[in-house]
Structure 1
């Protein structure tokens, strides 16, 4: 049963090459954009932590 499912999946991937390529490209771009977003937010975190005590008024 698993063998038949894998054979059918491989057959569909092989016969629909453009759709498979575009799907793979979309996944790669999506993962890369999330990684870039996380890296940019963590790179800015130390700067915002340094600024936050200055913005808090001292009584």
Structure 2
């Protein structure tokens, strides 16, 4: 999509570029953790991280409502 077409604003593209290093870093850390930990521990840790992420998103959305 072109930035001047109105579908994606320049600010959105800038923010995407800004968070790109953190996205790549997170993916790298996840891949490294998968290689270091056994499959059993990784399967135990991953749902906990997803739960923590979900709870954080819900609490942040409730904070915006109230």
Larger-Rg structure: 1
Q: TM-score, normalised by structure 1?
A: 0.47
Q: TM-score, normalised by structure 2?
A: 0.43
